[in-house]
């Protein structure tokens, strides 16, 4: 605990704090999504290295963000999976819908085929567009356009 700057805290205190945080996070991730309609939805994933059972493994952290009925950005959900495949995304999106996600008109994400298929399955009436961040990362936006986008977004 000294390495974390937490001298004088016992392992049992840390366990109690972590258990409380687990409950807070579970409550946040399981809350009803009643701020809709959520017309604009952003989906993204990060690949992270984590320690599991004494070994390093890669996991995908998937995130859904949307604009609620009050025009405020809201994190709707976060999940950790072993891969970023279509089945992972499909389960994640269906879970969001089960919690109340509705009214989606536009989904922005990367062009991962499994993700696009899951979006088409769950949000059949919604439009889809590729994230401009993903387009720039793929080198498909000329530097002048990318600079102009950054200026407009600021």
Structural domains in the chain? 1-30 (no CATH), 34-128 (3.30.420.10)
Predicted confidence at residue 61, as pLDDT, reads 93
pLDDT tens by residue, 79-98: 998 777 889 999 999 999 99
Q: Is 62 left (phi over 0), alpha (psi -120 to 50) or beta?
A: beta
- Find, among 65, 62, 22, the residue nearest to 41 by Cα: 65
- Find, among 54, 73, 3, 63, the residue nearest to 29 by Cα: 63
For 1-153, list the strands marked E by DSSP.
40-52, 55-67, 73-81, 106-109, 127-130
pLDDT tens by residue, 135-149: 445 444 455 555 555
Mean per-residue pLDDT of the chain: 85
Query: Counting every residue, how long is the chain?
Result: 154
For residue 123, is pLDDT > 60? yes
Contact present, 87 and 109 (Cβ < 8 Å): no
| pTM, entire model | 0.76
Contact present, 84 and 60 (Cβ < 8 Å): yes
Residue 32 and residue 83: Cα distance in Å, rounded? Answer: 26
Predicted confidence at residue 82, as pLDDT, reads 79
Chain mean position to CA 144: 29
């Amino acid at each position: 605990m000294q390495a974390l700057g937490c001298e004088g805290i016992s392992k049992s205190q840390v366990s109690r704090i972590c258990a409380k945080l687990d409950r807070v996070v579970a409550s946040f991730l399981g809350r009803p999504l009643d701020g809709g309609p959520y017309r604009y939805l952003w989906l993204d994933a990060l690949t992270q290295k984590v320690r599991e059972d004494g070994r390093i493994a890669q996991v995908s952290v998937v995130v859904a963000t949307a604009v609620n009925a009050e025009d405020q950005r809201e994190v709707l959900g976060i999940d950790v999976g072993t891969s970023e495949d279509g089945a992972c995304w499909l389960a994640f999106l269906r879970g969001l819908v089960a919690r109340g996600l509705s009214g989606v008109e536009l989904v922005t994400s990367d062009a991962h085929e499994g993700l696009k298929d899951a979006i088409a399955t769950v949000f059949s009436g919604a439009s889809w567009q590729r994230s401009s961040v993903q387009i720039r990362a793929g080198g498909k936006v000329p530097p002048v356009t990318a600079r102009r986008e950054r200026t407009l977004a600021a």
